[in-house]
Chain A
């Protein structure tokens, strides 16, 4: 569960990215974060995986106050949260398999466990037959699937996606969405920032709309609500 109470984020240059956010996302939910560019979506997302610290207010992840977590303990917090980006952030010199395994090696998982778990996750994202390909040999959609596999390989409770379909054509975008829905169905909370009107309006989920650093709308089965 993610809870935010009166969260403000003011950057050193004086920009107020978030101004008093109150929100609660329960375990197992799927929700979109929408809003115009520069409205504070990215900051909102970054606060969740502790890439940014709130200037004031309280953020609780599974009841843990993120602001109070000591720097050296942040890695352990991150293990509960998978993150997916618009640009995939794969390592170009590693194969699909190695990219996913890397996330398990980094938290010092036992080798035998790595092999079976990576295999399992690559099957889930439909890339078992492409696991020896380098990112450059994969399409955008396939690369994003590898990055999702990497994000969930350590069994995080949350999957946070920042415009995961931003670089993909509609067909690949839908593949990614079905995959995220599948992951959500298995119990992982999914929070996804997006600009994709078609997806939000078709695959109806909870929609949180942010404008000027404030939540202006929060509705189940919501609509995208913008014309871009």
Chain B
């Protein structure tokens, strides 16, 4: 298509947006509300995803070794476990080190552990086994337990499973809810476009008479719809990101090492802005397609 023609189509689209100010406003608002909700869900979903990945990295089997096992035996056991393809890494933590870690975790309350160093240390030597696939931890744990040098094991009792279930549930709810809202917004846009078509029906009739191609007639409406969608994406992106920034400050004190893990602002803002705008444009074009198909015999 010629550049001239493209400019003409854009001009036509903007003219009719201006002509139907209120309808444009309504359609943009509808898209904005849809995208606002979508934006919040998006942020939520990204963070759940991030969190579950973080947790996956912390998922591990802690296997305690029977007391009195020799250093050679332990080394051999560690190598044997490492050979299993399901295993990502195995770390040996001698009981002295385990006690140090426990003390660090307890902080000020670590006084209660005083006097338990050396021979009195009640903790077992442990192997920390990180699985390749956190979903199959149960299976691996059973295999590890079968070893006669292993006294007992602990793998967190499916906390991760529950989190993964929850996040996939959230994802499905978002999908259904978002789809419903998108349909609503598309219909509002199609109504706006319908007004344009009505206002321009004489022009369209004449275009058809003088032999304008179908695409020539359709283009301005596509641009109009896409623009409504894009306009509708601006405010939700700003609002969602502002809220997220605030939440980030309050919940994590702006520190990356806080207890609550959240995605940092920078890559997230780009994803949210891009995805929201893309969805807005998609809804806009969809809305135009609905009205064009119904009201133009082109």
- Interface positions of A (Cβ within 8 A of B): 49, 72, 75-79, 82-83, 89, 91, 102-103, 105-108, 110-111, 150, 154
Contact = CB atoms under 8 A, between A and B. Distances in A.
Nearest to B205: A89
Given A105-B8, A108-B5, A75 B202 contact: no
B202 A106 contact: no
Interface in B1-57: 1-2, 4-5, 8
B211 A154 contact: yes
Contacts of B214: 72, 75
Interface residues of B, number: 18
Contact of B206 (A102, A108, A111, A154): A102
Given A75-B208, A75-B213, A103-B210, A108 B2 contact: yes
15 contacts: A49-B209, A75-B212, A76-B211, A77-B211, A78-B209, A79-B211, A89-B205, A89-B206, A102-B206, A106-B207, A106-B212, A107-B216, A108-B5, A110-B4, A150-B210
A2 to B, nearest CB: 17
Given A75-B212, A76-B211, 18 more contacts: A49-B209, A72-B214, A77-B211, A78-B208, A78-B209, A78-B210, A78-B211, A79-B210, A89-B205, A89-B206, A91-B203, A103-B210, A106-B211, A106-B216, A107-B216, A108-B1, A150-B210, A154-B211
A107 B211 contact: yes
Nearest to B200: A91
A107 B8 CA distance: 12
B221 to A, nearest CB: 15
A116 to B, nearest CB: 16
A190 B211 CA distance: 18
A27 B59 CA distance: 86
In the complex, which of the residues A75, A102, A110 has the most CB atoms of chain B within 10 Å of its own CB atom? A75
